[in-house]
Structure 1
C-alpha cells in the first residue's frame, strides 16, 4: 500500500482514542515493539520494515472520505471526528537499524508521543515490521546455508496478497538474496530482477527444441532454458544442440533451470551433459518448493547447482508463519507502566539494548536496561524520528543489505544451525529487575 493509510488500523484504536480525547488524556506515552519468543528451531531474528514504518508515520492523516465513512459507522461523536481532521504523528521514534540481528524481549522499535498518537499507530506498525522481519529472518537462514549461491525470491504468486509479495522481495534482498522475480519490487526498490520461462511456453510449441530456439532468439541476452517439461536430461541435450546452432548468431546459452524431481541427481547428470557439449560456462538454476532445509540437503549432496529460486516456503515463512509480536505501553506521563497478564508480562520503563562482542567480533551477549542507565556494549536503538520528522535520511536498501551481511557474519556458530540453535545470552539489567519488583509491590490491582 502507498499513500494514506489511516484506516489500516483496528477499530479499538479509535474507540480508545475517543476515550482519551473525551478525558483530555494526552500526556506523553512510550510504546515498545518486541518479539516475545523465537519460533521453533530459530536462533535469531533480523529486523526489517523500518523504512515503510517511518513512511507510514510521516504521512499519517485522515482524509474527508475516511471521516465520512467513520461517521457512518455510528461509533464516533461528531466533535471527535472533527478533531481527527488535524490528526498527525508528532512524536519520536528510536529503532534498531534494519538488518540488525536481535532476540526475544528486546525492543526493536520505540515510539514516544502523545498517547493518542502512540496508541493509534500500533496495528499498522506491527503489520509492517512483523511481516518484513518474519521474511528477512527466514531468508537469512537460506543465505547462511548456501553461501555464494545465487538466491532469487520467487514467491509473489503465493504470497498472501500483493503488498506481501512486494515486501517479501524487499525483506529477502535485505537479508542477502541476489534478487527477485517480481517486477514491481524491482521497480519500487531497485532490486535486481531474474526470470526464465514457464513450462507453458514449451508446451505451446510443436517441439521442445523449437521452443528453446524461439526463446533464445527473443531473449538473446538472457537465454536460460527450462529443461524439465518432458525429460530433464533430454532437455539438457537439446540445449547443447541449440547452442551449436546459435553460435553464428552470437547467442550464448546462459543457463538451464530444473524445477522438478530429484534435483541433486538431475543436476549431476545435466552438468555432465552440458560440460560434454562444451557448455562449461552455462549455469544450473533450480526451483520447486525449496527452502533452507532443501538447500542443506543439496549442499550436502554437492549438487552442482549455481542458483535457486525460492518462493512459496519463503514468502509464507511456511515453517514459522508468524512471530509472537507485541507493541506495549512502557511509560505514561513520566511513570513506568508494566503489564502483568499471565504469560504476557512486560518489563517496564523506557529501555535500551546493549550488545557485546568477543575478541573475534562475534556476538557475545546483550543486555536490556533502562535507557537512562548505560551499560557495557554498543547501544542498538537509534533515533530515527523527532517531532514527527526524520532525523536524517534512512540508509538505502543496498546499504542496509551490506549492514545485514555484516550482522550475519558476526553470528556465532551455535546460532547458524537450522535446528537446536544455542541459546543466546540476553541479560536483564539489575536496575530493570529492581524497578519491576518495586512496581509489583507498589502497584496493586484496584
Structure 2
C-alpha cells in the first residue's frame, strides 16, 4: 500500500520550505521517536509498525498530481515545488525488531538524514508507530489475560476507518492475536481468518433450530453456532446440542458455540456442563461482547469455561485507562555536529540528546534486568553506574554478571532496507511472547505493575546536564545583557 507524502501536517511542508530558503535542507540531522508513558498504565509496550514505516520511507515520492495540489495552495515558491519533484528519503533508520518489548522514554526509531528528509517523515512515522504499537500492546495484554485460551480479533466494524482496521489486525497479530475476522487483512498479511454468523442469520429463518440446521448444512466441518439470540440456556444451547447430534450422525462434528451476551462466566460453565453431559467434550465455547483484558481476567477468576475469546471494540479502539493514543513524540537530538535537547522545568520531560544506543542488561538465565540508554560509541559495561533520567541523584550499578545486548539495529541505510522482508508476523509474535516471559515478576500485572528500570549512562547524563547548563546560561545572558 502506498502512503502519500501528503500524509503529513502542513507545518512539516512550511518548515521544509523554510529550511530550503535558509540553505539548511541538507544539514545532517538526527531525530528520535519515543513515548513518555507506558500505555494503559501498564509495565511495558510491544513495538510494532516498523515494516509499514519502512515501506512508507522506501516509496516516498511526490506524484505530479500531489505537486499540482501543493502549487494550488498558493503558499510555496517555485523553487520549493521543484525541490519536491526530486524529493526522496535517503536516510538511515535505527529501530528494534517488531515484537520487541520496550519502555517509556527509550529511543525507538532514530532517523538520521538531511534535515528536510528527517523532518518531513515525522507525522507519518508517528501515525504508523503510535497506533500499531498501542494495538500490539493491548493485544499482548488480552492474550496474557486469556492464558491458555485463544483470542480472535474482530474489531473491523469499530476500527478507525478502513486503514485503521487493516493496521489494527496486523498489529494485533504482532501482539499475539493470531487470527482475524477481517478478510482483507487475511489476504494482505496472510493472517488466518475466522468467523461464525450474526444474530441476523438466526432471525432470517422461521425459528432458531431451522437456522442452526441450515448453517450446519452449508458448513458441516466448521460450524460454530451463535446461541444467545433468544435464550441461551432454554433455547440456544439445547438446539445446538440437537444439531451436534445430527452432524455426528452424518460423520461431522460441531466445532463450537458462541455466547455474545449475558453473564459469560456463568453461561460458559453451563454450556460446558451441558455439552459434556451430552457427550460432546470437544465442542469449543466462544465468548464475545465488549471483552478486554480485565473482563477476560474476571471470567477466568469466576471459573468460566471459555476456549476462545472474540475481542473487537476494545482492542480495535485500544479502550481503557491510559489507552486511546500512545502519545509518541519525535524530537530533534542532533543538528550538524551539535547535540540538541528540548529543555523544560520538569527534568523528566527533558529530551536525551545526540545519537544513542539502547542496551538491555540480561541475566544468565535470559531474564531482563534493566535497560540502559547510552551515547553512540560510549563503552558501557557490567559494574558501571547508571542514572535515573528523571532524577540523576538516583543511580544503580549494572550487575557484574549481566550480559549487555543492543535492542536496536540499523533497519534502513540510504533509504533502503538493510534486510529482506522475509520476517514473518509469526516471528514477530513469537518474539513478543518470548520477551514478555523474560520480564521481571510483576511487569505483566494490569494494576500497579512493577516498574522496569530504564537508566541513562554516565556519558549521556553528563552531556545532558552540560547542555542544560549551557541553555540556562544562555537565558541568563539574554535576560541580563
TM-score normalised by structure 1 residue count: 0.97
Query: Quick one: distance in 2 between partners of 1:146 and 1:242?
Result: 29
Are 2:91 and 2:414, in contact at CA under 8 Å, matched by a contact in 1?
yes
Matches within 5 A, 1:201-240: 201-233=201-233, 234-240=235-241
Deviations 1:291-313 (A, max 9, x none): 00011111111211101001111
Segments ≥4 residues shifted beyond 3 Å: 341-344
Q: What is aligned with 1:81?
A: 81
Q: Indicate if the aligned counterparts of 1:4 and 1:61 stay in contact, CA closer than 8 A.
A: no
Q: Distance in 2 between matches of 1:221 and 1:128?
A: 39
Count, aligned residues: 445
**1:274-289 mapped onto 2 (5 Å cutoff):** 274-289=275-290
Q: Offset at 1:228? A: 0.5
Secondary structure of the 1:140 match is helix
Aligned partner of 1:384 in structure 2 is: 411
Residue 134 (str. 1) matches residue 162 (str. 2):
no
Of 438, 445, 463 in structure 2, the residue corresponding to residue 410 of structure 1 is: 438
Aligned position for 1:365: 370
Q: Is the 8 A contact 1:352 1:379 kept in 2?
A: yes
Q: Unmatched 5+ residue regions in structure 2?
A: 382-403
Residues 213-265 of structure 1, C-alpha deviations (whole Å, 9 max, x = no match): 11111112210000000011221111111122233432321100000000011
* 1:433 CA drift (Å): 1.0
Q: CA deviation at 1:266?
A: 0.5
Shift of 1:359: 3.6
Tell me the distance in 1 between the aligned counterparts of 2:332 and 2:174: 30
2:398 corresponds to which residue? none
1:58 Cα shift?
A: 0.1
* Equivalent runs, 1:35-434 vs 2, <5 Å: 35-39=35-39, 41-233=41-233, 234-319=235-320, 320-343=323-346, 344-376=349-381, 377-394=404-421, 395-434=423-462
Contact 2:143-2:177 at 8 Å conserved across structures: yes
Distance 2:290 2:193 in 1: 20
- Cα contact 1:216–1:251 (8 A) shared by 2: no
Distance 1:38 1:148 in 2: 25
**Counterpart Cα distance in 2 of 1:144 and 1:220:** 32
Give the C-alpha shift of residue 342 in structure 1: 4.5
Contact 1:44 1:415 in 2 (8 A): yes
Hey, what's the Cα distance between the residues in 1 that align with 2:419 and 2:78?
38
Q: Deviations over 1:39-87 (max 9, x none)?
A: 4531101100000000000000100000101011111111210110000
Q: Which residue is 2:397 aligned to?
A: none
2:440/2:452 contact within 8 Å kept: no
Answer with 71-80 or 32-41: which moved more.
Answer: 32-41
Within 2, Cα distance between the matches of 1:295 and 1:301?
10
Cα distance between partner residues in 1 of 2:41 and 2:466? 35
Query: 8 Å contact 1:166–1:185 — kept in the other structure?
Result: yes
> SS at 1:404's partner residue?
helix
Distance 1:375 1:382 in 2: 17
Residue of structure 2 equivalent to 1:24: 23
**Structure 2 CA distance for aligned equivalents of residues 277 and 201 of structure 1:** 25
* CA distance in structure 2 between the partners assigned to 1:178 and 1:33 by the alignment: 27
Q: Which deviates more from structure 2 when the two are superposed, residues 371-380 or residues 260-269?
A: 371-380
State the alpha-carbon separation in 2 of the partners of residues 441 and 259 from structure 1: 60
Contact 1:353–1:367 (Cα < 8 Å) also in 2 = yes
User: Which range is displaced more, 125-134 or 241-250?
Assistant: 241-250
**Equivalent position SS for 1:220:** coil
Root mean square deviation, CA, Å: 1.2
1:319-371 CA-to-partner distances (Å, cap 9, x unmatched) read 11112210110001121011114454211111111101234322110111111
